[in-house]
Amino acid sequence: MNDERPTDCIAAIATPPGRGALGIVRLSGHEAIAVADRVFRPRHGAALVARRAWSAVLGNIVDDMDVVEEALATVFHAPQSYTTENMVELACHGGQVVLARVLDVLLRHGARLAQPGEFTRRALLNGRIDVTQAEAVLHLIDAPTDRARRAAVRQLDGALKLRLQHIHQNLLALRAQLEAAIEFADDAGDVFADRAALAARLATHLDELRALARGAETGRRMHDGVRVALAGRPNAGKSSLFNWLAREERALVTPIPGTTRDTIEVDIAVDGVPVRVIDTAGMRRARGAIEQQGIQRARQMLADSDYVLWLCDLTRRPARDEVACARACLGATPAVWVWTKADLAAAWPATARAPIEAAWRTATISVKTGAGMPALEAVVAELVRAQCGSQDDTVLMVSAWQRDLLARAFEALARAHAGATTAALAELLVEDLRTAQDAIGEMTGAVTSEAVLDALFARFCIGK
Ligand SMILES: Nc1nc2c(ncn2[C@@H]2O[C@H](COP(=O)(O)OP(=O)(O)OP(=O)(O)O)[C@@H](O)[C@H]2O)c(=O)[nH]1
Ligand SMILES: [Mg+2]
């Protein structure tokens, strides 16, 4: 961890731009309360510096003789604040000109404009939170669904930090034991003597890391969402289903085949997981350059999606290459075959349907009557659950570099485990354990570099 801990007074507008009932300007640093006192005139009583922690004081913010704004100042004394430093939060009226003026006055009286994420960075540098908790702050602010919020709050509370610390300590203890065994090879309690027991211990740790990796993958899904594309022949009813799922008339629906050209996307929530639904152009031999581009784009979308709902119009007689066309368009992306327009007379003979029913998971719907829609939604929910699980207390909201660290720890531990079951060199085994342990340590920020912290906090907004 970096030892250089800045304590100068930083200030920033902490609320989002735009009009609002309230806007908050916050200050943090050793001199924060003193700087606020230079511009804040309490309506009654003593200056802020003489106030008890967490007192809220009504007063004016003045610039020389000018009253700039009326505000409520809340005083926080170190270490009981967000950053662990002295802090003042000025709750002002939520107008951009007002807030900019208040900030400007503070900057001219000894504060410096905070960098993005600098308040949270100070909380981290001062040891109140670790990297997993700083990540949780970001994920909490960005949470696209309530389930993602719950996971972020749990992590902010230190759940992941404790888990990682626990694993780190266990790996450390095991490594110490192994190193001692190497050094005093003749000792009675040589852990290398019972290779099977050692392998079992490593397997337990490997399981822990596997569970973490699964949780991190779920967290990624819960943040990025699951992509579900709607595809099929022109006029199959894709845009109709899209509008139904979006609960609004977003996409143009007409009886003319080839209506949709560009892809259209909408975000919905399924079981607390964000799902991006993508409507695409109908697949056929394109008539004209625009449609050709649309189809090209649709194919790309299918390749980039997690799932495809392949829609097929029951009322249109099947073409000879129906299945081949679907297979070619879908590529490797898993799909559910959805029969549409079930309210109308079907033109597909049972013999043509049978091979499809055998090869694909299918659903039958009518957007017009709503028949089959709950069942289709249940299928989508099931697909989403398959990606995101339903166990909330194991979800990790971590970033890509933390997932990489987890993978590194896992690989090293897997090597150690393989080494324990064979008669690999003890020193190599210890080295692998050290690699795993360091990677886990890095995840909590115990040995995190400045560059990594810069990258993390660059994703924050100013004032957080
Ligand atoms: N009766 C009935 N008509 C439907 C149903 N779903 C869609 N349609 C009609 O089928 C036609 C085509 O629907 P769209 O949703 O535009 O089809 P699409 O697959 O998006 O078509 P393209 O964008 O041209 O590829 C429209 O006239 C819809 O009203 C349904 O469940 N029942
Ligand atoms: Mg369409």
The domains located in the chain, with CATH, are 10-129 (3.30.1360.120), 141-221+399-445 (1.20.120.430), 225-388 (3.40.50.300)
Is residue 240 lining ligand 1, measured as CB closer than 6 Å? yes
311 CA closest ligand 1 atom index: 19
Is residue 372 lining ligand 1, measured as CB closer than 6 Å? no
Residue 284, token pair as written in the block: 């056929």
Q: In this predicted structure, what is the pLDDT of residue 298?
A: 86
For atom 26 of ligand 1, which residue has the closest CA?
A: 255
User: Residue 183 belongs to what H/E stretch?
Assistant: helix 159-183
Task: Output phi, psi for 16, to 5 deg.
Answer: -70, 155
Task: Output phi, psi for 230, to 5 deg.
Answer: -105, 125
Residue 106, token pair as written in the block: 């503070």
291/288 Cα distance (integer angstroms)? 6
- The closest ligand to the CA of 231 turns out to be 1
3-state secondary structure of 339: strand
Beta bridge partners of 421: none
Q: Measured between alpha carbons, how far apart are the two ends of the chain, in Å?
A: 21
Is residue 340 lining ligand 1, measured as CB closer than 6 Å? yes
User: Residue 334 belongs to what H/E stretch?
Assistant: none
The secondary structure of residue 394, as a DSSP letter, is G
Q: In this predicted structure, what is the pLDDT of residue 87?
A: 98
Ligand 1 pocket test, candidate residues 233, 239, 240, most atoms within 8 A of CB: 240
340 CA closest ligand 1 atom index: 31
Q: In this predicted structure, what is the pLDDT of residue 296?
A: 85
Distance 324 CA to ligand 2 centre (A): 21
Ligand 1 pocket test, candidate residues 230, 233, 239, most atoms within 8 A of CB: 239
Distance 375 CA to ligand 1 centre (A): 19
238/378 Cα distance (integer angstroms)? 18
For atom 11 of ligand 1, which residue has the closest CA?
A: 255
Q: Which amino acid is at 457?
A: F
The secondary structure of residue 348, as a DSSP letter, is S
Is residue 315 lining ligand 1, measured as CB closer than 6 Å? no
- The closest ligand to the CA of 234 turns out to be 1
Q: In this predicted structure, what is the pLDDT of residue 2?
A: 44
Residue 408, token pair as written in the block: 């590194």
* CB < 8 Å & 24+ apart, contacts of 256-264: 257/233, 257/282, 257/284, 258/234, 258/282, 258/284, 258/287, 258/291, 259/234, 259/235, 260/294, 261/290, 261/291, 261/293, 261/294, 262/294, 262/297, 263/294, 263/297, 263/298, 263/301, 264/239
Q: Which residues place a Cβ less than 5 A from the ion ligand 2?
A: 238-239, 259-260
Is residue 239 lining ligand 1, measured as CB closer than 6 Å? yes
Distance 106 CA to ligand 2 centre (A): 55
389/386 Cα distance (integer angstroms)? 6
Q: In this predicted structure, what is the pLDDT of residue 311?
A: 97
Helices (H), 305-366: 322-330, 350-359
Which residues are CB-neighbours of 266 under 8 A, at least 6 positions away?
A: 242, 245, 246, 250, 276, 277
Distance 24 CA to ligand 1 centre (A): 50
- Which value, to the nearest 10 degrees, does the dihedral of the CA atoms of residues 264, 268, 270, 274 take? 90
Provide the whole-model pTM. 0.77
Q: What is the pLDDT along the chain (464 residues), one digit of tens a residue?
A: 445 677 899 999 999 999 999 999 999 999 999 999 999 999 999 999 999 999 999 999 999 889 999 999 999 999 999 999 999 999 999 999 999 999 999 999 999 999 999 999 999 999 999 999 999 999 999 898 888 999 999 999 999 999 999 999 999 999 988 888 888 765 545 677 788 888 999 999 999 999 999 899 888 888 888 999 999 999 999 999 999 999 999 999 999 999 999 899 999 998 888 899 999 999 988 788 888 888 888 888 899 899 999 999 999 999 888 898 899 999 999 999 999 999 999 999 999 999 999 999 999 999 999 999 999 999 999 998 888 776 767 889 988 888 999 999 999 999 999 988 887 788 899 999 999 999 999 888 776 778 778 888 888 888 89
Q: Please, are residues 288 and 318 in contact by the beta-carbon 8 Å criterion?
A: no
3-state secondary structure of 72: strand
Ligand 1 pocket test, candidate residues 230, 233, 235, 242, most atoms within 8 A of CB: 235
Residue 324, token pair as written in the block: 């081949």
Q: In this predicted structure, what is the pLDDT of residue 1?
A: 42
Is residue 259 lining ligand 1, measured as CB closer than 6 Å? yes
Which residues are CB-neighbours of 188 under 8 A, at least 6 positions away?
A: none
243 CA closest ligand 1 atom index: 15
CB environment 190-213: b (16+ within 10 A), e (fewer): bbeeeeeebbebbeebbebbeebb
For atom 3 of ligand 1, which residue has the closest CA?
A: 341
Within 13 Å and on the Cβ side, how many CA atoms surround 128?
17
Distance 353 CA to ligand 2 centre (A): 23
Distance 246 CA to ligand 1 centre (A): 15
> Minimal CA–CA distance to 41: which of 23, 24, 66?
66
Distance 238 CA to ligand 1 centre (A): 7
Is residue 282 lining ligand 1, measured as CB closer than 6 Å? yes
